[in-house]
């Protein structure tokens, strides 16, 4: 990475972004006035999408806040209270998580649930459907079950196109100096 003059990120997790951010920041060297030396600044352009939402962002180590500086901006991971799963499920996701987090262990003592095993996934799906019928919750599919268990958010081609275009534009601006870069965050929401 130290050979790159700019890194454009299209990563799928906070952990992976943290890693590349730390790497880019580690290349920084300062002169005797405590100013970052230009040739050691390795800008990052980060793009990400989640369904109909996306962002593009420019991080210039030593100049702008880095990824770690603003990591607290991420919303907490969605988790459901166990009592809701056990007593008052209201959505398909509640039923799926009930089968996944509670019912699986009750029935399969000791066997670890493997999300990549289709038999396991089918079992979760069947249990979730039973529970949904019991509580009158509609809208079940196998792929919804898979998505909820594996935390998969569908990728939308148009969001990806818009965000990748924004990233390409920022990379172009940084490499050519033809214009000022984003200062320093762009969010996109389909409305």
Q: Encode 19-30: b = buried (16+ Cβ within 10 Å), e = exposed.
A: ebbeebbebeee
User: Phi then psi for 24, rounded to 5 degrees?
Assistant: -60, -40
22 binds Zn ion (CB under 5 A): no
Return the structure tokens found at 179: 């214009």
Q: How many CB atoms lie within 10 A of CB 144?
A: 16
Tell me the HSE value of 92 on the side-chain side, using a 13 A CA sphere. Answer: 15
* Active-site position among 25, 83, 167, 178: 83
Binders of Zn ion in range 68-97 (CB under 5 A):
68-69
Strands (DSSP E) found in the chain: 7-9, 44-50, 53-59, 185-189
Q: Which is nearer to Zn ion, 46 or 127 (CB)?
A: 46
CB of 21 to Zn ion, least distance (A): 8
Tokens 């992976």, located at residue: 16
Q: Is 178 a catalytic residue?
A: no
Q: Are 186 and 55 in contact (CB under 8 A)?
A: yes
Q: Which is nearer to Zn ion, 69 or 161 (CB)?
A: 69
Residue 184: asked if its preceding bond is cis (omega within 30°), the reply is yes
Binders of Zn ion in range 43-72 (CB under 5 A):
66, 68-69
Total site size for Zn ion, rule CB under 5 A = 3
Q: Which is nearer to Zn ion, 69 or 82 (CB)?
A: 69
CB of 71 to Zn ion, least distance (A): 9
CA dist 132 and 90 (Å) reads 9
CB of 146 to Zn ion, least distance (A): 36
Binders of Zn ion in range 161-190 (CB under 5 A):
none
CB of 34 to Zn ion, least distance (A): 16
Which are the catalytic amino acids?
83
Residues that bind Zn ion (CB under 5 A): 66, 68-69
């Amino acid at each position: 990475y130290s050979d790159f003059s700019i890194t454009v990120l299209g990563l799928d997790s906070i952990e992976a972004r943290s890693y590349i951010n730390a790497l880019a920041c580690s290349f920084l060297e300062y002169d005797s006035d405590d100013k970052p030396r230009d040739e050691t600044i390795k800008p990052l352009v980060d793009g990400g999408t989640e369904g109909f939402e996306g962002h593009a962002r420019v991080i210039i180590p030593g100049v702008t806040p880095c990824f770690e500086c603003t990591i607290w901006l991420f919303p907490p991971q969605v988790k459901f209270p166990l009592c809701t799963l056990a007593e008052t499920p209201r959505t398909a996701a509640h039923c799926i998580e009930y089968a996944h987090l509670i019912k699986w262990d009750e029935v399969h003592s000791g066997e670890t649930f493997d999300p990549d095993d289709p038999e396991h996934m089918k079992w979760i799906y069947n249990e979730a459907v039973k529970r949904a019928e019991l509580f009158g919750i509609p809208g079940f599919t196998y792929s919804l079950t898979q998505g909820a268990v594996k935390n998969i958010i569908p990728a939308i081609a148009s969001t990806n196109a818009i965000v990748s275009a924004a990233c390409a534009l920022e990379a172009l601006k940084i490499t050519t100096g033809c214009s000022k870069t984003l200062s320093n965050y762009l969010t996109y929401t389909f409305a």
